[in-house]
Structure 1
Amino acid sequence: MADITAAMVKDLREKSGAGMMDCKKALNETSGDMDAAVDWLRAKGLAAQAKKSSRTAAEGLVGVAVSGTKGAAIEVNSETDFVAKNAQFQEFVREATQVALTAGEDVEAIKAAAMPSGTTVADTLTNNIATIGENQVLRRARVLEVSKGAVVPYVHNQQGPGLGKIGVLVALESEASDEVLQSLGKQLAMHVAAAFPKALNEGDLDEAEIERERAIATEKAAESGKPADIIAKMVEGSIAKFRKEHALVSQLFVMDGKTKISDVVAKAGKDAGAEIKLVDYVRFQLGEGIEKETSDFAAEVAAASGVPQNKQPEPTA
């Protein structure tokens, strides 16, 4: 049996919202596998759906920029939030985002491209690490472009122009006026930031994730004791709901909570007298998918003082 620590239980509680004893049991049942423990809790109806990717664990900034009908988003990570407030770091992220507009979304291509100063992005980053004194990483980039229409940017938790904790791009193809597209794009981008869709259309959702949801739904439905045909319908109903809730076009617009995004776009096109197509989007949230190492502050202090954590210093006379 795996050694289940208090820290593991605490981590699972934060991820699942389940009770301490349920988390401990889940970890024991899954030999300490955190993801499997989350699934176990969900199958037992003891946890809400985990949103691990919305748990930010790295610092730094997301940058977004638009030029004409093309937009770029990048993420640059740092070790601490202090660096994200550093003017040199912010200028680097802003300029590197502009570079991505022409270099494309391949990280290595961006690193090899020249900054306004003439040095490459990679060399500038190396210099920043040396002068700021903290490791920094250009993690990822995406570029969207339409032949006609607009790519509309949005930054949530803005730290500076085009910089923040969440960066969104929405690509709209249309011959409607730029004013109409910018207004619609801003609303859609704010929705994307808040609703966290996993794909544009239901058919684009990751099939591996769908199968994982199917397994959870099957186990949960099986506990109902209903006939096999009813269970099958319950499972398919759960999967259909999952697809609708996580595909952008079928999500309910956060502004009113009742209109599908596809209908919002269709109405905007009808009102403008020109068809509008939502062709793509990007949502970068700082640190999603990265787990930061946690430290035991008491243990660090004890280690620094040379006093074992479970032993108090001898009293002085």
Structure 2
Amino acid sequence: MASVNMADVKRLRELTAAGMMDCKKALEEAEGDFERAVEILRIKGAKDVGKREARTASNGLVAVKHEGDSLAALLELACETDFVAKGERFQELAARIVEHVAATKPGDVPTLLESLLDGRAVKELLDEANAALGEKIEVRRFEVLEGGYVTSYMHKSDPQLPPTVGVLIKLDAPNAEVGRFLAQHTAAMAPKFLSPETVPAEVLEKERAVFEQMTREEGKPEAALPKIVEGRISAWYKDFTLVQQTSVRDNKTPIAKVAEEAGVKVLGFVRFKVGQA
């Protein structure tokens, strides 16, 4: 068996993102031929793609693509480790796919995977990256905001890693300063809905049932239950609807008032955090 240069092992790992032992074995099998070792890892990776389907892709990044001031796409591309997430190949793949999403606006993830990007199905590109990088790689979700004025904010929790939180904000009129602040606020405060009116009925019913049970278990008088429950629903709105949250700047002014004072209205938002629903 040919001796292996550890510098080549390190270079092969940096190029392919494969494990150290896999790189060492590939170089040994290739008798020190670096290019052949790359092919061995690619072949091995392709064989292992199916085995990785059941694994959890809890790392990754959020990518954004703007088309002017009135359209932007946000994408979460997932992988298994932050080592792959910070790699050039993974980030380039995310950039290509989110640009494709902004241009074609597919209806859902299955439609995106079947669509053609530079003449190849997006799923094929993901499988190829899966094989080359040795990890499960998948599009977890994407969304497009269009119309009005759309701005974004991308947050890095670690300067060595790509963004792991991404936000789109849609306003009814251009205002870059306020739009960016609202996007930063949304990144930090994680609202679930735009306003009380946009909360789905089934979600509201579930929260009301929880608060009612909670209030009963506290021994509150039966006659007081409706008022107490509605008070707790109002507090829940302030926690989880963007326009009723208070500004991170002063913790007193509702976001609706921040927007109103700036002469704009918030029409919608998207917030993705890697690994979260």
Whether TM-score is above 0.5 comes out as: yes
Distance 1:183 1:158 in 2: 22
Give the letter for the 2:216 counterpart: A
1-structure distance, mates of 2:158, 2:139:
18
1:280 aligns with 2:274: no
The SS at the match of 1:91 is: helix
The CA deviation at 1:243 is 1.9
Q: Does 1:185 align with 2:179?
A: yes
1:89-238 matches, within 5 Å, as 89-105=90-106, 106-115=108-117, 118-146=119-147, 148=148, 150-157=149-156, 163-174=162-173, 176=174, 181-238=175-232
Q: Deviation of residue 159 (structure 1)?
A: 7.1
How far 1:153 moved relative to its partner?
Answer: 1.0
- 1:70 equivalent to 2:64? Answer no
Contact 1:64–1:163, Cα closer than 8 Å, also in 2: no
User: RMSD across aligned C-alpha pairs, in angstroms?
Assistant: 2.2
Scaled by the length of structure 1, what TM-score is found?
A: 0.64
Per the TM alignment, residue 206 of structure 1 is displaced from its structure 2 partner at its CA by 3.1
| C-alpha distance after superposition, 1:183-207 (max 9, x if no partner) | 1111000111111111111021133
TM-superposed CA distance for 1:121, in Å, is 2.1
Contact 2:155 2:163 in 1 (8 A): yes
Q: Which amino acid is the alignment partner of residue 92 of structure 1? A: L
Residue 266 in structure 1 maps to residue 267 in structure 2: no
Task: State whether residues 62 and 77 of structure 2, in contact with CA within 8 Å, keep that contact through their aligned partners in structure 1.
Answer: yes
User: CA 1:99 to 1:81, structure 2 compared with 1: closer, same or farther past 3 Å?
Assistant: same
Q: What is the alpha-carbon distance in structure 1 between the residues aligned to residue 88 and residue 272 of structure 2?
A: 21
After TM superposition, which residue ranges in structure 1, 4 or more long, deviate above 6 angstroms? none
Q: Does 1:79 align with 2:80?
A: yes
Amino acid at match of 1:168: V
Partners of 1:99 and 1:113 within 8 A in 2: no
Contact (CA 8 Å) 2:63, 2:74: kept in 1 or not? Answer: yes
The one-letter code sitting in structure 2 at the alignment partner of 1:285 is K
Q: Rate the CA distance shift 1:158–1:121 in 2: closer, same or farther, 3 A.
A: farther
Q: How big is the shift at 1:222?
A: 1.6
Q: Whole-Å Cα distance in 1 between the matches of residues 80 and 143 of structure 2?
A: 22
Q: Distance in 1 between matches of 2:162 and 2:74?
A: 10
* TM-superposition CA deviations, 1:207-226 (whole Å, max 9, x none): 33322322222222223433
Q: Deviations over 1:24-64 (max 9, x none)?
A: xxxxxxxxxxxxxxxxxxxxxxxxxxxxxxxxx81111111
User: So what's the TM-score if we normalise by structure 2?
Assistant: 0.73
CA distance in 1, matches of 2:115, 2:212: 50
Task: Report the Cα distance in structure 2 between the residues aligned to 1:232 and 1:249, rounded to whole angstroms.
Answer: 25
Q: Distance in 1 between matches of 2:192 and 2:208?
A: 17
State the identity %: 35
Structural mapping, 1:38-57, within 5 Å: none
Does the 8 Å CA contact 1:77/1:136 hold for their aligned counterparts?
yes
Asked if the contact 2:247–2:254 (Cα under 8 Å) also holds between the matched residues in 1, the reply is yes
Name the CA shift for 1:109/1:82 in 2 (closer, same or farther; >3 Å).
Answer: same
Note the residue ranges of structure 1 that are not aligned, 5 or more in a row: 1-56, 270-275, 290-317
Unaligned runs of 5+ in 2: 1-56
Q: CA–CA distance in 2 between the matches of 1:170 and 1:163? A: 20
